[in-house]
Amino acid sequence: MRPPWKTRRRSSGRTGGACDGAFPQHDARACGPAIMLNIFILLAVLCMAPLALLSPFVGLLGWHWIAFMNPHRLGWGAVETVPAAMIVGAFALGAWMISREPKRPPRDWIVFVLFMLAVWISITTVFALVPEGAFRIWDRSIKILLFTYVTLCLTTNVHRLHALIWITVLSIGFFSMKGGLFTITTGGQYLVWGPKGSFIQDNNQLAMAVLMTLPLFFYLSQNAANRYVRWGLLAGLVLSVFSVVGSQSRGAFVSLVIVSGYLALKSRHRLVFAGLGASLLVALIFFLPESWIERMQSIQEYEQDKSVQGRFDAWTYAWRIFEERPLVGGGFRAYYDGDYFMALVPDALMPRAWHSVYFEVLGEHGGVGIAIFLTLLLMTWLRASQLEWLGRRHALAWASDLGRMCKASLVAFATAGMFLNMAFFDLYYVIIAVVVCGYSIAAQESGETRVSLRESRRARSQARTALAPRTAAAVPVPRSARPTTGGPR
């Protein structure tokens, strides 16, 4: 279901083969490659089903691969409509239910907050302003949360954790590296888009996904044993940066600057990282066309930008829905109710989507929903900080690096998400699962059952006290010099 004012997508700057992988429908020379690609995609999807029966975790990885990469969308004709995620997901869930794999996730308050989020979005869907559109998005969101739970249960060791990160990086990296090459070869003249019909179809959405994946590229390169793999990951990282730039997304560019600064501050080689970043920025300025620079400069002229003003209207609508329905909000896709939108924001030119994860949750799920959402984000950040500290304390380099890079991914989500309505983007919930499972695995390897931020602060305070010079008050006084309180015995 599409809102009535959205009759077709923006087409300016889009190229047929750049991002969605579609073949020209009237080119006879493309029929052969298209058929071969369709066969390959079908075989890959069909092979995942029996593999899921043999290993539920492999089936889970297959589901994440399809959810992120959408390989069937790269095909042609009927292959595009194959319910690949549903097929692989059903086999994976069935195999998990009858297997001896763990059915309980790590004991963590974040899991409870995820459960509360699932319950609350179900409640708000009952009271939604647009029931049909709300149920469709609820169905997709609840499946994402369900497979997040399965991921929490099945990711039980470092090897599985790294396999999950690898499948995430390769799936998103396929489009980011392809988009980076496309940007370089075309001089940044065209937009970079994602696979059609997916979460990352839009250029802005793809840029956000790539930004969240950049720290994972860096993490895998830091922990790669083979130098060729390490160089390949670093090359993919650079191409992914070009992909973000080629998306011509202003919000993504601002987020890229913030994430790059955060990585430079947290890197062990800060000066080298800062030098490379500055060199890349200078190269981009001389490489990119004038149209890209003009679009980025339009950030300063937001008062005259109709797109920005439309976002302000959507944010105003979200706030006024919160005032009208403070507990449950308007439900998923509340902006589809155009009459209600114009009644609450009469100065708006037309109804608009939220264009912000924060106003999206506030408008759709009310005050309770935004409180749960922000609590989840904050708790995940704190747990990633604990994971980083735990790795440093027990010489677990992978844990320290993972905690630091996951925080960078959260920074990307929190900043780029200010301008996009992707509150239930599955990559964000995979990052949450990686943090929770990584902390649980690191705690098991280190022999610790629970490490709190209070304990980490206390340990750092004790370390500083031990290294500080003793003051005069701390010097012991000789017994003969101590004053007596009574007469001689």
Higher pLDDT: 441 or 199? It is 441
Q: In the Cβ-directed half-sphere of 140, how many Cα atoms lie within 13 Å?
A: 14
Residue position matching structure tokens 């300016």: 12
Over range 470-484, report the average pLDDT. Answer: 48
Mean pLDDT, the chain, as a whole number? 81
Nearest Cα to 453, choosing from 386, 380, 406? 386
* 284-290-293-294 Cα dihedral, nearest 10 degrees: 180
The pLDDT tens digits of the residues spanning 342-378 come to: 889 888 888 888 889 999 999 999 999 999 999 999 9
Q: What is the pLDDT of residue 63?
A: 92
Is the pLDDT at 475 greater than 50? The verdict is no
Higher pLDDT: 215 or 260? It is 215
Q: What is the pLDDT of residue 457?
A: 54
Over range 166-176, report the average pLDDT. Answer: 93
Percentage of the chain beyond pLDDT 70 is: 76
The pLDDT tens digits of the residues spanning 250-281 come to: 888 888 888 888 888 877 666 666 666 676 66
Q: What is the pLDDT of residue 306?
A: 67
Percentage of the chain beyond pLDDT 90 is: 41
Q: Which residues are within 8 A (CB) of 42 and not within 5 positions of it... i.e. 6 or more apart?
A: 79, 82
Question: What is the spatial distance between Cα 97 and Cα 95, in angstroms, rounded to a whole number?
Answer: 6
The pLDDT tens digits of the residues spanning 304-338 come to: 556 778 888 889 999 999 999 999 989 999 888 88
* 367-372-373-376 Cα dihedral, nearest 10 degrees: 160
What the block records as the tokens of 104 is 């309980």
b/e burial code for range 315-326 (CB count within 10 A of at least 16 → b): bbbbebbbeebe
The pLDDT tens digits of the residues spanning 69-118 come to: 888 777 777 777 778 888 888 999 999 999 889 999 999 999 999 999 99
Q: What is the pLDDT of residue 402?
A: 94
